[in-house]
Structure formats: structure tokens, C-alpha cells
Amino acid sequence: MRSALSGGLVGAVVAVVFTFGAARLGYFPSPSDKQFHDYLMSHPGIVFAMSEKAQVDQANSEERGLQAAVDKVGLHRYFDPRVAFVTGPANAKKTFVEFFDYNCAHCRNSFPLVQKFYNAHKGDTRFAFVEFPIFGEQSNNAARAALASRLQGDKYVAYHFALMGEDGAIGTNQMIDAARKVGLDLNKLTADLKDKNVDKQMAAARALASRSGVTGTPFFIINGKVHSGEVDEALLKQMSES
């Protein structure tokens, strides 16, 4: 029903544009500003449709800009272990990149599907998880803890998913709780937060985000194609098969 309504409104917009455009070209008398105003006031749905279309056009334009930036940077840059946690077959034909913040509601909403996708494709897809904290000190601390967990063998993915699966905002208690759940050594984790490589990785990820034009989370690059914002199952399937 929404599609039918939107289609009708877009049709009305086209009709208005055609009518007033034709009038300006002299095919018939041009309506006055008052007539134009009165027509729009009596058909407010046209204004809504025009606004909606403008928003869609802007989003598409922004996505094209991001795609161009990512293409310029080169996909291989996102699979640098100095920038991201990289896992999966090195020769995989499929690739999956995510920039995220543990306190980003949209990242958390996408998390169950991302985890499901990872578990289903970790044998045939190259993954890059990029820490990109943008929501303040607690997000920054959570990202640092996740990076420090990389120094405890293969615990990163489990810790990453545990943090994403925590209830509420991610603060110190949630970081500790998630660490215990996945069997991290808390004393070592605390000490490793001071490791200079954590600072380097944080800086490298921010630099890559800047070069890519990424300002928000989540941001995905799946098989080289960009997507800003949440994903659903259909979109993940479509992007992973393209």
C-alpha cells in the first residue's frame, strides 16, 4: 500500500513538473504563483513525495561518493592487520568489511545477522572487523579492550561478539563481563591496554575511515560494494552474492 501511495504521489509530482514546465515553454498560459501555491496546498502529498525523493537522491549520491572513495583507496587496504582484525581464507573470493562502534544502536541491531553471516561464511569469506569508536570515551575504551584481546590468541572474534551482544551501553562492567564470558585473562587484558600497538591500530583505523569518507557506523563493504547503516537478511544475501 505504501508503494502504491508513493507511486501515485510521484506520478502527481511528475504531472505538476510537466504542466508547469510546459507552461513556461509557452505551450499554454503560465499559472500564477498563487495558483501554484493553492494547488500545492490542496495536494500536500506532493510536497511529501518531493521531499522523500530528495532524501533518496541525496542518500544515493552520498553512497556513490563513498563507493568512489573506497575504490580509490583499494579493497586490500581494509584487510591490513595493522588496521583491522582479519580472518578467513586469504584467497577467498568473497570479502566482508565492517566499521563499527560497540555503543552504536544500529551496529547492535545488525549484530545478530552479522554474527549469523560470519558463522555461515567464515570458511569461504575474508572478514575485516574495523574498530571505529565515535560515541565517546566508553566506546573508545571498548575498542581499546577489543584490540588488546587480540594479544590473547584467537579470542578477538568471541570477545567482539560478546561485547556486541551485551545489554545496554558498553561500559567498564560490560567489558569485564564479556571478557569473563569468553575466557580472557583480565590481568593480561588490562596490561595489554597499554601496548603501543593498540594506539597505532586505533590511529590507523581512523586514518583509513577518513580516507574512505566514513563518518558513521555501521559501514559495510561487502564484495567491494559499500553500504551505510543497518543491514537486513535480504540485503546481506544480495550484497554477498553480487
| Tens of pLDDT, residues 54-105 | 555 555 557 888 999 999 999 999 999 999 999 999 999 999 999 999 999 9
State whether 145 and 228 are in the same domain: yes
Decide if 28 is inside a domain: yes
* Span 141-156, pLDDT tens digits: 999 999 999 999 999 9
The whole-number pLDDT of residue 73 equals: 97
Counted domains in the chain: 2
Residues 118 and 233 in one domain: yes
pLDDT classification of 3: cutoffs 50, 70, 90 = very low
In a domain, 68, yes or no: no
Pick the last residue of a domain from 15, 31, 62: 62
Q: For the segment 10-38, what is each residue's pLDDT rounded down to a tens digit?
A: 455 445 454 555 555 554 455 566 766 67
Would residue 232 be called left, alpha or beta, if left means φ above 0 and alpha means ψ between -120 and 50 degrees? Answer: beta
Do 234 and 150 sit in the same domain of this protein?
yes
Q: Are residues 13 and 45 in the same domain?
A: yes
Distance CA 158, CA 161 (A): 5
* 54 and 81 together in one domain: no
What's the Cα-to-Cα distance from 137 to each of 140, 172, 210, rounded to whole Å? 5, 11, 19
Q: 108 and 223, same structural domain?
A: yes
- Whether omega for the bond prior to residue 29 falls within 30 degrees of 0, making it cis, is no
pLDDT of residue 22: 52
Full domain range(s) for residue 90: 75-241
Whether residues 104 and 18 fall in one domain: no
| pLDDT (0 to 100) of residue 5 | 42
Regarding whether 83 and 51 lie in a shared domain, the answer is no
Determine what percent of the chain is predicted with pLDDT higher than 70.
Answer: 76
In this structure, are residues 182 and 158 in contact, taking their beta carbons and an 8 Å threshold? yes
Whether 69 maps to a domain, the answer reads: no
In a domain, 13, yes or no: yes
Q: Read off φ and ψ for residue 208, nearest 5 degrees.
A: -65, -40
Judgement on whether residues 162 and 228 belong to the same structural domain of the protein? yes
Do the domain assignments include residue 132?
Answer: yes
User: 122 and 234, same structural domain?
Assistant: yes
Same domain, 236 and 126: yes
Same domain, 41 and 105: no
pLDDT greater than 80 at residue 8: no
